[in-house]
Amino acid sequence: MTAATPPKTRGALAKREARFAWTLLLPTISVVSLVIILPLLAIFWISFKPVALSDLRPVQVIVKENLRGKGEEIRLEYRVRNSSQQKPIAAASFRDVIPDDLELLEIPASCALTGRALNCDFGDMVGGFSERLKISVVLNTDVKSAKLAIKNSAPLVMGSGDNILTNTEFRLDNFRRIFDSSEFLEVLWATVFYTVVGTIGALVVGLFAALLLNKDFKGKGILRGLYLFPYVSPVIAVAFTWIALFDPFSGSINALLIQMGVTNGAINFFGERPLALLMVTVFEIWRYFPLSFLFILARMQSIDTDMYEAADMDGASPFQKFWYLSLPLLLGILSVLFLLRFIWTFNKFDDIFLLTGGNAGTRTMTVNVYEQAFAISNIGAGAAVAVVIFAVLLSFSFLFLRYISQEEGL
């Protein structure tokens, strides 16, 4: 019986080199982690709070000081208000040092003058509170100098209000609102259809284009450049070009179909269900197949041609050569492309928003994030939809890497 070989251990020098390498990488890892993790934590935090656009502004006392009037009717005005329309502010007050160039003639009931310090107390300020204090003054200098002195002495504001963004009150209302909505299943179906069909379609068209251009012929370089046009063109330009081409009133496609007798009237390609969802999916395939085409073509050109020559000698058909030789060698790059394209398409927002605005059954989850957060001013609900998107993509990536990629040897 042979003795078992003892496991190899790293020496002291190798350990020091590893520690030194991690020390050099630590700043980069820390910065990248902060850039990724902090926004993600913020989205999770907001998703459990009923945050509206108005809540992004902190609840505080706002005081604006101005010198108004002319001649002998000069007055010092303070506009005091609560920044929130709903939430109160406890112990609201402000303190302002009056410049020596001004003499106050009368003091409001809510204020008191101690030396040159003006203290105004408003107690508990209700939501939407707004008041204008007018104090007659006498100037010991010109108006311009007095205004400059007032500008340089900003009031000190005091008061505490509940900030929904920083308190520790968490709710599930946003998630209940999402899943209880009658539109959730429709949005989910549109997202799944757009993502799956768009991803597979881009891969299939890219594979077909790579097979066509994996040959030597005159003008091959120009044709490859033309194939990249949809991907490198500005999305806003190509989106509005498609809208103009398929317009039901002045579009060239409708005019051509009517002249050919295919249809009797104009078709609203981007305004009818389910045609609109199909059109935005076709646009996704057309715009992003060049990326798959580039990767697949690069992989095909690295395959040894000897096996194809041997297959030709054995009388293999083109389909047999593709199915038994090319495809097994392309499964690795196709798997990676499928994962990347699935994630990118699931997160796609600009294409659909430019083409349909999310109307006619094309409202995907990313468009739903925008509409919840900005169209109806519910930041919390928009963040909750973003958390659902993150959970779906994380689950899909885990399952893909756990099962499918292992079968392909990735």
Residue 25, in any domain of the structure = no
73 plus 196 within the same structural domain: no
Asked if residues 99 and 150 have their Cβ atoms less than 8 Å apart, the reply is yes
Two structure tokens written together for 18: 């590893």
Amino acid at 48: F
What is the domain count for the chain?
2
Q: Longest C-alpha distance within the chain, in Å?
A: 114
Residue 178 φ/ψ, nearest 5 degrees: -70, -55
DSSP codes, 63-113: EEEEEEEETTEEEEEEEEEES-SS--EEEEEEEEEPPTTEEES---TTEEE
Same-domain pairing of 214 and 331:
yes
Are 258 and 400 in the same domain? Answer: yes
- Tell me, yes or no, if the pTM score tops 0.85: no
142 and 177, same domain (yes or no): no
Do 210 and 133 lie in a common domain? no
∠ Cα 307 405 396 (to 5°):
145
3-class SS at 307? helix
Note whether residue 149 is domain-resident. yes
186, 243: one domain? yes
Q: Which of 130, 161, 192 is the last residue of a domain?
A: 161
Nearest to 129 by CA among 63, 209, 55: 63
- Domain range holding 200? 173-407
Q: Same domain for 131 and 197?
A: no
Burial bucket for residue 343 (CB in 10 Å: 0-12, 13-18, 19+):
middle
Distance CA 47, CA 42 (A): 9
Residues 383 and 310 in one domain: yes
Q: Is the dihedral of CA 57, 58, 63, 66 positive or negative?
A: negative
Residue 166 lies in a domain: no
Question: Does the residue 293 lie in any domain?
Answer: yes
User: Domain ends where: 96, 129, 161?
Assistant: 161
Task: Per residue of the chain (410 residues), give pLDDT as tens.
Answer: 455 555 555 677 888 888 888 888 888 888 888 888 888 888 999 999 888 877 777 888 999 998 887 767 788 899 999 988 888 999 999 999 888 888 888 888 889 988 889 999 999 999 889 999 998 888 888 888 888 888 888 899 998 888 788 888 888 988 988 888 778 889 999 999 999 999 999 999 999 999 888 887 787 778 888 889 999 999 999 999 999 999 988 889 999 998 888 888 889 999 998 999 999 999 999 999 999 999 999 898 888 888 888 888 888 888 888 888 888 889 889 999 999 999 999 999 999 999 999 999 999 999 999 998 888 888 899 999 999 999 999 999 888 888 765 555 55
Pairing of β 117-125 and β 89-97 = antiparallel
Do the domain assignments include residue 193? yes
Domain match, 200 and 267 both: yes
Residue 52's closest CA among 360, 383, 327?
383
Q: φ, ψ for residue 5 (rounded to 5)?
A: -75, 125
| Residues 231 and 291 sit within 8 Å (Cβ to Cβ) | yes
| Residue 278 shares a structural domain with residue 378 | yes
Q: Does the residue 24 lie in any domain?
A: no
